[in-house]
Chains A and B, each alone.
Chain A
């Protein structure tokens, strides 16, 4: 069971399943639901990158959206101006972001903690301002006419690749080096590990996945706006990692799914509740469905922020608290059915 072939088979099976769903389920799925699913996919890819930088290596980056912007603009201009096919442009967009990660990471990773956060935030805003002032990239009005190429199949193939890549990376000796830097940088350095190199590696890899996610997003919407990648987006990704639990990969992924779906769910919930009120109205108990239900989606950001605060106060270690989903489920199962001693 532990043979590497088993792992490969699983990945191939996963990709086959993704394309199966793409071919046979998505055409019958409501366009709105597909849109939410794809947005979940983009966020999951970007979040795996940030989980590496923030969760596993402990480097506080507030500029992840900037790398998404570079990937999106890089891939879109490659395909618009050099006719690079989108299939190739997505990984190239990731590479552009990764390269930028190197350029940003080498000087700024000398700083730590809050200072690093501010500098990465600064780079994020600088990238946005530069894009806004570059006519070649569409300026503040955005880049339009990007070919539409992102499908469910492509997005989730990338999701699968990102998750498998990250899982394997974290299980390797690199993974232990990342964790060592997070837990005690000085002790790690004293063991002869080049911590700067480790931090920069994490940063570059994280930037690559952010870039790939941005590129996919660009090929999905067919237009890209600088506003999409401002620091509030970085903060959103940061919230996903912390809510999911740092030092966990499945936690942030779960958080990315929940936090992307939550606002949409509230919108749908409002519709359902209005329908549920219909019998009450018919029975004469209510004049009309409560007016605020129709506006429930307007409250979604308020509810989202309350969830964020409430979670931090009640579950400070995140959903999974530094464990992986598998371990949590196995633990729960053991509690329900204690193994015969």
Chain B
């Protein structure tokens, strides 16, 4: 039972990080119907941005809570800029060509960022400890400050996202573009600006995810985005890609499955289980958990 609760805590906090990344995939998919493979690299770059900001602002030398908040906000702004820039330079020129082209461009962008980061910063760069870590043991279950932080930040960001998407003019425009890009354009919605905003919004969440990630795993590496990115993407598909609540549900489910398998079977099998779960769910519900199945029409 203790093991179960322990893995529940671990799984929820892993799932929360996946959820933050998965939202970026799902929102971009909702508006552009493209898999933004470079999103995992936005997450990775977030780690390096956090490192640079912490180093040059002096927060790394004298860590403090406001300092960490400063680094986090800086990272989120930096990833937002990066996400919007990628969209402007690499994806916008391809708006009218096929989806395969967009996909290959996204893959190219992902390779570019990974190898660029490798050239500039190298591998396995240590990240300074910004927050002292405390672990409480409650009835045999250890809960760390990081777990609490991951939860609270994720919940706050989800509420903020919900507010932006459902209650603001920008969010309404986003939903309109995702429902029908052409109709939205006819209604006078600046589609390109909304798409750039969607990328920025997704990248802000990825930036937050990478900040939370490096606080827990104090290393940054050009390859650090690959696995979390892939898992988050799987989570988004699992929940029904394009659906915001779906991405969150899929991510939490995936996080829980992974930690349960690590806890009860073996951690070497956890990647296989993540994909097995995906395959089973897609075969039973071809549009994912929350996706709407759209029958093909002639």
Instruction: List A residues at the B interface (Cβ < 8 Å).
Output: 60, 107-108, 110-111, 113-115, 117-119, 121-123, 125-126, 129-130, 132-133, 185-187, 231, 235, 238-239, 242-243, 246, 298-299, 301-302, 304-306, 308-309, 312-313, 316
Contact = CB atoms under 8 A, between A and B. Distances in A.
Given A187-B298, A313-B105, A129 B271 contact: yes
Given A125-B272, A125-B275, 4 more contacts: A115-B237, A126-B279, A305-B115, A309-B112
Interface of B: 29, 35, 90, 93-94, 97-101, 103-105, 107-112, 114-116, 118-119, 230, 233-234, 237, 241, 266, 268-269, 271-272, 275-276, 278-279, 282-283, 286-287, 296, 298
Contacts of A108: 279, 283
A306 B279 contact: no
A186 B269 contact: no
Nearest to B109: A309
Contacts of B286: 110-111, 115
Contacts of B90: 309, 313
Nearest to A301: B115
Nearest to A185: B296
A262 B77 CA distance: 36
Nearest to B296: A186
Most chain-B Cβ atoms within 10 A of its Cβ — which of A60, A119, A304, A305?
Answer: A305
Contact of A313 (B93, B233, B287): B93
A302 B109 CA distance: 10
Nearest to B92: A313
9 contacts: A111-B283, A122-B279, A123-B275, A126-B279, A239-B108, A312-B94, A312-B97, A316-B97, A316-B98
Contacts of B118: 301
B104 A302 contact: no
A118 B101 contact: no
Contacts of A235: 107
A312 B230 CA distance: 23
A306 B282 CA distance: 34
Nearest to B233: A118
A118 B115 contact: no
Given A122-B275, A302-B112, A309-B108, A246 B298 contact: no
Query: Which 4 residue pairs across A and B have the least CB separation, nearest first?
Result: A308-B108, A122-B275, A129-B272, A305-B111
Contacts of B268: 129, 132-133
A125 B110 CA distance: 19
A130 B272 contact: yes
Contacts of B115: 301-302, 305
B43 to A, nearest CB: 17
Contacts of B234: 118, 122
B101 A242 contact: yes
Contacts of A309: 90, 105, 108-109, 112
B236 to A, nearest CB: 9
Most chain-A Cβ atoms within 10 A of its Cβ — which of B111, B116, B119?
Answer: B111
Contacts of B283: 107-108, 110-111
A304 B111 contact: yes
Given A119-B282, A129-B268, A312 B108 contact: yes
Contacts of A60: 100
Nearest to B291: A115
A308 B241 contact: no
Most chain-A Cβ atoms within 10 A of its Cβ — which of B93, B105, B109?
Answer: B105
A302 B108 CA distance: 9
A305 B271 CA distance: 27
A250 to B, nearest CB: 19
Nearest to B288: A115
Contacts of A301: 111, 114-115, 118
A122 B278 contact: yes
B119 A242 contact: no
B107 A302 contact: no
A137 to B, nearest CB: 14
A212 B133 CA distance: 52
Nearest to B35: A114
A122 B237 CA distance: 12
Nearest to A300: B115
Most chain-A Cβ atoms within 10 A of its Cβ — which of B29, B107, B116, B234?
Answer: B107
A117 B269 contact: no
B282 A111 contact: yes
B107 A115 contact: no
A126 B272 contact: yes
A302 B116 contact: yes
B112 A306 contact: yes
Contacts of B119: 298-299, 302
A54 to B, nearest CB: 8
Contacts of A119: 278-279, 282
B148 to A, nearest CB: 32
A170 to B, nearest CB: 19
B175 to A, nearest CB: 21
Most chain-B Cβ atoms within 10 A of its Cβ — which of A111, A118, A133?
Answer: A118
A118 B282 CA distance: 10
B269 A305 contact: no
Contacts of B29: 114
A185 B90 CA distance: 31
Contacts of A110: 283, 286
B74 to A, nearest CB: 26
A268 B29 CA distance: 41
B226 to A, nearest CB: 8
B35 A308 contact: no
Contacts of A304: 111
Nearest to A242: B104
